[in-house]
Structure 1
C-alpha cells in the first residue's frame, strides 16, 4: 500500500531539502525560515504553509503534527569543552529541533550539518547528540557524504543525520553512490550571463589564499553562501600558486559563477526563481541542501518507512 508522509521543515531556506523529498512522494505541509527572501522563494514552488519568523519565538503548539521533520541545525556553539555545550546559548536552534522532534514524535527526522560536526571535541559532541536523540526515543544514523557521489556537480561534504523512531523497529542504510556529473554536463546550454547576475566584488586576500577554479571535465568546488567567495567559472584561466596560501590569476577573463550557474550546480531546476538581490540569491543557493542529494536520501527513507509500516500492519492482522 502506498504511504503518505507529511513533512515539517525547520530552517527551510529556499527549500532544497524539501524539494528533494517532495520529488519522492513526501509532502511539505509547514516550513519555517527567518530569511524573508528565502521564504518567498520557497512559496514560489511549494504548496506548504511557509512561516517567516524567528523559530525560537514560534510555539511548538503552532507546528502541525507530521511524519517527518527536516532541518539542518547550526552548530556554532558546539565546543570541545564537552557534552554540556549542547546547552550553550548559541545552540538554541539545535535545542529547538530536538524539542520539535520530542513534541511531535514523527516517524523520522533528517538533519544536515557540516563535516566538522564529527570531529568536534574528538567525537564527544557527536556522541552527546546521539545520546540526546536516543533519550527521546530515536535511533540515530549518520554518515559523511560527498554530494558529488550522488549526481551533484560539486564536492560538498556534509554529515547527514537520520533518526528513526524506535517503535518502528526499522534500520536505515545510507544509499550507495549514484553517479558523477561534470561541470560540462551540468552547465551545457547555459548562455553567458548578464553582468548583473555575477558577483563582481573585489577578490579578497582570503579568496586568493587557495585555488578557486576547476575545469569543465571536473566538478566544482563547494558553492558557498557568500557572494564574494563564489567559485570561478571553468572558462576562467587557471590560477597560479605563488606562495604559501597565496595564488594569482592567469592571463585572460576571470569571473565567478553567476547565481543561475551556482543554482544549477546545486541541482536546483534551471527555471527556479530566487527572490531578492544578488547577494541574497547567492546566500539562498549556497545555504541549501542540493535537491538531488536530498532526493536520494528521501527515496531511501521512503522505502524504509513504507516497509516498516506495512510490516506492522501485517503483524496486527
Structure 2
C-alpha cells in the first residue's frame, strides 16, 4: 500500500536564521519553519515577531540536537565572514567551520532536502578547496548536491548581490537534475522599490563618519539602476540615489560631489531593497537593524529558489508514492 501523501506545507528547520529572510521566502512557497536558531538576540527577537516557529537563541555548538524536531527540510545561511570577498579572507577562520554543525544535523535528521546559502567568495577560497570540501561533506551524508551562483537582481531584488546556493536532495529520492529559477525578463530598479517610501527620520539613517574604506570606491547608483550590495555594517551601506555623484580622484580614492546632501540608505530603505515587506519591523538599535538586514537572504531570491525546490520535491514524492503503489499491486 502506498504511503499517505505528504501534507503541505513542508516543515523546515532553519540554522543561522537571522531575521528570517530565507525562511520568509520559503514560507511564501509552501514551507513552514517550525524551529529556528541564531546566536544574535535581536535577530531572534525579530524572527519571533513575524513567525510562530520555536526560535532558540544560542550558539549552534551549544545546542543538543536531540531537542531539534524532525523536518522535511533544513535551511542554513551559515556564517560567511571568513569567506567574504569584502573583507579579510582566512582559510583558518573559525567561522568557516560552523557549517559542519549544519552537516551534522542533516546527517542525524535526514530531511528530504537541504538548502544552504553563502557568499560568492566561498567558490574561490583556498583555490576552491573549501567549497569542494563543503559539497563533499553534504554528499557523504546521503545527498545529491546542486550548487549554483545566483545574482539576486535577476529575481526581483533591486540589488546586485551574488550568492552561492546549494540545494541537496536525499539520494533515495533519485533526483538527477535540478533546475534553478530562470532570471526574470526585467530587473527592479531602486526607483521601483523606493518610489513610495517616505523621507526617513534622521534616527533611521546611519550618520557615522565615512571611512577610508568607504571612500575607496564609488558607493552610489542612480534611480534607474539596481543598488550595490547591502552590507551588514551600517557604515558601509551604499548612498541614496538623491546624493550627489561621487567623483573619482585616483586609484581607490573618491570624494563626494558638492551639490546636494549625501546620505546612506536608511535601514527601512535597505530592508525594502532586501525585499522585506515595507512594514517589516526589526528589533534592536540602528546598528543592529542594519546588521540583520545586511546579513539576510533577500526574501524574493529565497522565494524564487523555494518555488523550484517545492516543485521538485512534490514531483519526487509523487513519483515515489506511485512506484510503491505499483509494487503493492504487483
Residue 197 (structure 1) aligns with: 204
Q: Pick from 305, 309, 312 the counterpart of residue 301 of structure 1.
A: 309
Deviation per CA, 1:57-100: give whole Å up to 9, x if none. 0011011001100011225567xxxxxx9997544411101000
Residue 51 (structure 1) aligns with: 56
The answer on 1:13 being equivalent to 2:18 is yes
Question: Are the counterparts in 1 of residues 14 and 37 from structure 2 also a CA contact under 8 Å?
Answer: yes
Measure the CA separation in 1 of the matches of 2:188 and 2:173: 36
Q: Secondary structure at the match of 2:98?
A: helix
CA spacing shift, 1:309–1:262, aligned 2, 3 Å: same
Residue 154 (structure 1) aligns with: 159
Measure the CA separation in 1 of the matches of 2:78 and 2:95: 11
Question: Are the counterparts in 1 of residues 91 and 126 from structure 2 also a CA contact under 8 Å?
Answer: no
Q: Pick from 243, 250, 274 the counterpart of residue 243 of structure 1.
A: 250
Residue 261 (structure 2) aligns with: 253
Question: Are the counterparts in 2 of residues 75 and 94 from structure 1 also a CA contact under 8 Å?
Answer: no
Measure the CA separation in 2 of the matches of 1:296 and 1:274: 23
TM-score by length of 1: 0.95
Residue 293 (structure 2) aligns with: 285
Question: Are the counterparts in 1 of residues 142 and 171 from structure 2 also a CA contact under 8 Å?
Answer: yes
Residue 82 (structure 1) aligns with: none
Residue 275 (structure 1) aligns with: 283
Report the CA distance between 1:188 and its aligned residue. 1.2
Q: Secondary structure at the match of 2:43?
A: helix
Matches within 5 A, 1:84-103: 89-103=94-108
In the alignment, structure 2 segments of 5+ residues that lack a partner are: 84-89, 326-330
Residue 234 (structure 2) aligns with: 227
Measure the CA separation in 2 of the matches of 1:34 and 1:278: 18
Deviation per CA, 1:168-209: give whole Å up to 9, x if none. 012321110024100110001111110000000000111000
Question: Are the counterparts in 2 of residues 153 and 183 from structure 1 also a CA contact under 8 Å?
Answer: yes
In the alignment, structure 1 segments of 5+ residues that lack a partner are: 79-84
My pick for the range that moved more, 127-136 or 261-270, is 127-136
TM-score by length of 2: 0.91
Matches within 5 A, 1:118-133: 118-133=123-138
The answer on 1:117 being equivalent to 2:122 is yes
Matches within 5 A, 1:156-195: 156-170=161-175, 171-178=177-184, 179-195=186-202
Matches within 5 A, 1:69-108: 69-75=74-80, 89-108=94-113
For these two proteins, the number of residue pairs brought into alignment is 312
Measure the CA separation in 1 of the matches of 2:61 and 2:196: 43
Measure the CA separation in 1 of the matches of 2:80 and 2:159: 23
